[in-house]
Structure 1
Amino acid sequence: MASSTHKHQPLPTLHGVTAAPPPTPSTQPNRLSSSDAADALSRLLHRLPPTLSLPSRLSPPTISPPVISISEQNLNLREDLLSSSSELGFFQLTNHSIPSQLAQSAELESLSLFDLPHDKKQQSFPKNWPAGFDDEEEDGDRSGGESFCFDVHSCTESTECPLSSLMEFARALEKVGFEIVEGLSRAMGFENPLGNDGTRSCSLMWVAEGVAGKKPVFSGRFYPYVIALQYQIRCRKYSMLADSGWVTVSPLVDSVLVTIGDIAQVWSNGKLKKVRGRAAANSGNGDKSGCVTMSLLVTQPMDSTVSPLLPSVVAREEAGGDGEDDDNDNSSSKGECENKEKEDGGDGKAKGEEDKDEKRVFCSFRFEDYAWRVYHERLLFKDPLDRYRI
């Protein structure tokens, strides 16, 4: 009878050497410590695209903007404006002359605009860029928001919707805005490029409705400005992209949130911080008014040229040319800026100037070309001023 003894098969060999059995998960060494894992996760989070939504606990903390009193009793108004604008790029104004009742009436009129039928919005507010009705959903924008833009001085009562409170509110904000620009100009040491009475300015009232359920709500086009003003009717938070990164602020009720824009940063030759686009209101808890923002943009006329205005830079331009390249169009690039600097002496100064003179940080460029590009390309996460930096 044959033997039933079980014979073990020999282990596989490699070049005559017996090979060890394959390792199991339990025998694998832990090569990644908890500290290494945390570092890897931190590096991953820093590489995430800015459009990716992160958990709320990773959102920037809410801060209160610096408070500046605009009353005559504040003898340090210019210093306060300069300090907040150069360190943060935003602040809130108190003791201003804008009645809260006027702001509330303007908000009610703004809400009524969005209740109109879509075809009536288009007929009553035809586009005359940048003014008019804008439906971003029609333009293929994912946010799907709607907005109205009014030129404060050219807007008439030809539309069927009464806008008397909204326009009065816009002019009240404009008056405060002129005071801020004048104070900043004097604090920086150059003449107010808008004129003491705003004769060389353009003021746009931008009313935007956000999309429910999105926090923060970003709606409406982006347009370059000197400063933007938003009245705080109720306790509400705003999110904005400053030079220091994303910021969430909660201004005081009845205060005016002021953000410094890209044009002011160029005027100051880079000394002032800025906010890209308008501050966006975080949507409220089912409150429709919480998704509407009324922003007054104090900006420049279309035919303006934007360039640094600091005294030392202006003096050098007068000595070596106006600093503007007549052939510089919307395709201006950093390389073209560098070429212009070489023409002026190779080191950012006009020939014959001493080294103590301040170096230009930005090239001169046409406002209309820049405004058209920012408005249509929606350059929020990429700083549109980078191409004009020297």
Structure 2
Amino acid sequence: MPLPSTADATLTALFDRMVLSPPVPILRLGTPSRLKIRSPVTPLVSLDSPDLASLRAAGDVGYFHLVGHGIPSQLPSSALAELSRVDASALRASILRTLGFSVEDEEVDADDEPVMVFDVDGQGMDALPAALEYARLMREVGMQVVGLFSGSGEVGFGEKPFPEGGRKARCLVWVSKVGSGESAMPPAAGDAKAYPYVVGLHCQWEQEAGASTWVMDDSGEWRAVGKSDGALLVTIGDIAQVWSNGKLKKVRGVARPTPAPTGNGEAGEPARLSITVLITLPLDSVVSPLLPLSAGEDGGHQLEEEEKGVVSEDGEEDGCSFRSFSLESYAWGLYHDRLQFKDPLARYRID
């Protein structure tokens, strides 16, 4: 039986709209590592009165703001002023030596990052009193941050990483250029080096004009982290993730400040510097999960094995999520890899 004329007209109009309407546009997103993803809330941890909830929130994302650190507000600017007067080109070869790499095996590019690296206990900072004072204070804060995550298997490490008379920390001052280009975009892929560390400390108020800082999270996504008045930005590194047996998320590489805008709103000159202080380990260390010791176990056994350079070949340690590995070989690969393309710890994970 034929349709009534009213129903027929309705179906005809519906068909015309389906055929003649333009197709729904397809939203094409960029490469995941190039997307700007702003975290709704950056965890806030107080060094004076830390609590389990804030530490857990920090460990879930791999970075956080730290207050109660006691760093004088004028000291970062004084340190930057000193470093800006250093002839960075004369220090290119010393960067590799400080990191423990062979100068002969590496070509040094004048545009490479970082522009300077110092060992806080070395001789290179003797002529930079403000920068040295800043680095030493930041090291103290960094060691306290490591202590917050120590001895708590729930949100950190199952044992203290730096027991008295045991494993030693190393502190590096990592100096980079403030990037050029649009501040709204993440840094270009592969234009900066990276080095393994436990925690990194970055002073965001050192660049008053910058709106935020870029960090690359554990999944390889860039995230823009806004400032918090007087707070340090702390990033959790790859060594800390292994020590926690995977409980802590990490940041790939170090924090990257946005370009400082000029008066006309465009990105400023790229000559300005940024300082990140890294708590890391001597290059001859072996990295492995720090698991809680059961009653009666020899607390020094694991550390003794690491100091002897014992590296697991099969990765079958009970309860471990990572195989033990040499920091020297890992650091070399990390320094030359592009962080966006793969998780540098993937090869050491135990499925």
Please give the TM-score of this superposition, normalised by the length of structure 1. 0.68
The number of equivalent residue pairs is 310
Contact 1:236–1:290 (CA under 8 A) maintained in structure 2: no
Q: Evaluate the alpha carbon distance shift between residue 180 and residue 238 of structure 1 in structure 2; reply closer, same or farther with a 3 A threshold.
A: same
Deviation at 1:110, TM superposition (A): 2.2
SS at match of 1:371: helix
Deviation at 1:340, TM superposition (A): 4.0
The residue number in structure 2 matching 1:67 is 44
SS at match of 1:228: strand
Contact 1:157–1:163 (CA under 8 A) maintained in structure 2: yes
How high is the sequence identity, in percent, across the aligned residues? 34
The residue number in structure 1 matching 2:212 is 237
1:174 matches 2:139: yes
Deviation at 1:122, TM superposition (A): 4.7
Contact 2:118–2:124 (CA under 8 A) maintained in structure 1: no
The residue number in structure 1 matching 2:339 is 379
Contact 1:231–1:257 (CA under 8 A) maintained in structure 2: yes
- CA-atom RMSD in angstroms: 3.8
Moved more, 284-293 or 274-283: 284-293
1:82 matches 2:82: no
Greater relative contact order (CA < 8 Å, ≥ 6 in sequence) = 2
Q: Evaluate the alpha carbon distance shift between residue 121 and residue 86 of structure 1 in structure 2; reply closer, same or farther with a 3 A threshold.
A: closer
**Pairing partner for 1:165 from 125, 130, 139:** 130
Moved more, 291-300 or 186-195: 186-195
What stretches of structure 1 of length at least 5 have no aligned partner? 1-28, 329-335, 342-347, 350-358
Contact 1:91–1:258 (CA under 8 A) maintained in structure 2: yes
1:222 matches 2:222: no
The residue number in structure 1 matching 2:250 is 274
Deviation at 1:66, TM superposition (A): 1.6
The residue number in structure 2 matching 1:205 is 173
Moved more, 162-171 or 243-252: 243-252
Q: Evaluate the alpha carbon distance shift between residue 91 and residue 196 of structure 1 in structure 2; reply closer, same or farther with a 3 A threshold.
A: farther
Deviation at 1:254, TM superposition (A): 2.2
Contact 1:190–1:310 (CA under 8 A) maintained in structure 2: yes
The letter of the residue matching 2:116 is: F
Distance, in Å, in 1 between the alignment partners of 2:272 and 2:171 is 23
The residue number in structure 2 matching 1:388 is 348
Distance, in Å, in 2 between the alignment partners of 1:197 and 1:112 is 39
Contact 1:306–1:364 (CA under 8 A) maintained in structure 2: yes
The residue number in structure 2 matching 1:147 is 115
1:195 matches 2:163: yes
Q: Evaluate the alpha carbon distance shift between residue 32 and residue 112 of structure 1 in structure 2; reply closer, same or farther with a 3 A threshold.
A: farther
Please give the TM-score of this superposition, normalised by the length of structure 2. 0.75
**Pairing partner for 1:308 from 285, 289, 307:** 289
**Pairing partner for 2:326 from 366, 372, 380:** 366
The letter of the residue matching 1:128 is: R
Q: Evaluate the alpha carbon distance shift between residue 307 and residue 110 of structure 1 in structure 2; reply closer, same or farther with a 3 A threshold.
A: same
Please say which structure displays the higher CA radius of gyration. 1
1:257 matches 2:233: yes
Deviation at 1:78, TM superposition (A): 4.9
